[in-house]
Amino acid sequence: MKAERVSLTPAYLVHQYAWRETSRVLEIWSREHGRLGLVARGVRRPRSPYRSLLQPFAPLLLSWTQRSELGSLTGAEAAGLPARLKGRPLMAAFYMNELLLRLLPRQDAHAALYDRYTATLAALTESRPAAALRLFEKHLLDAMGYGLNLTRALPGDGPVEADAQYLYELDSGPRRLIGRRSSGLVIRGRVLLALHGEALDDADDLRVAKRLLRAALERHLDGRALKSAAVMRAMNKGA
């Protein structure tokens, strides 16, 4: 098989682990080629030019060759400054990386989601990181082909109304509640419309949107808990 050669394409490092004595396997997410595994040979040596460059949340330009599942890193350059993150924003960024690793198959490019990831990293350093994280989750579901129905109510497929209450069925969408209670995922129409319009400005709406999006994502994790989500829950309890 002829090796594919890729030169200086935008990418982020989302995970890495030691490989043999001096190398690492890098899990990267590139704008044009999707998620890939690359062997970075010799990168653990003290004088490796890539040792300090290959860090998470830093925009990179990477080059590699690939003829099998794992490619070989051949070059790396900085494409900007890494996001300055700490505390909850840092854990939120690790949460995004973990979602990408768990939910996106290899070599499945999503340029629009890549750009959303870049924008979300910037937003996590600002004053309203929660809204940015919810919108990243929404766009991730869209990219996976499991986007949420946020505007059409069941069973007659009429428009969602802001003041109405809905029971959200993850397989199909919102079903209007009239004069009865439910133990399921009950959501006011205004939250669905705010999420659709990407205008999550209300703190209560954000909390409800979080419940909906997390429930939708959990269906595709096959019961596997996210380490970063558990850390964030622990931090919230200790706040």
Question: Percent of the chain at pLDDT above 70?
Answer: 91
User: What is the fold, at CATH topology level, of the domain defined by 4-78?
Assistant: OB fold (Dihydrolipoamide Acetyltransferase, E2P) (2.40.50)
87-238 architecture in CATH? Up-down Bundle (1.20)
Q: pTM of the full predicted structure?
A: 0.89
Residue 239 to residue 233: CA distance in whole angstroms: 10
pLDDT (0 to 100) of residue 9: 96
Please name which of 6, 100, 19 lies closest in space to residue 60, comparing C-alpha atoms: 6
Please name which of 100, 25, 28 lies closest in space to residue 61, comparing C-alpha atoms: 28
**Could you read off the pLDDT of 175-189 as tens digits, one per residue?**
998 866 666 899 999
Domain with CATH 2.40.50.140 in the chain: 4-78
Residue 141 to residue 54: CA distance in whole angstroms: 28
Which tokens is 14 given?
A: 């989302």
Taking the CB of residue 90, how many other CB atoms lie within 10 A of it?
Answer: 17
Radius of gyration of the chain (CA): 20
pLDDT (0 to 100) of residue 191: 97
Residues in contact with 180: Cβ distance below 8 Å, sequence separation at least 6, in sequence order: none
Contact 200, 212 (CB under 8 A): no
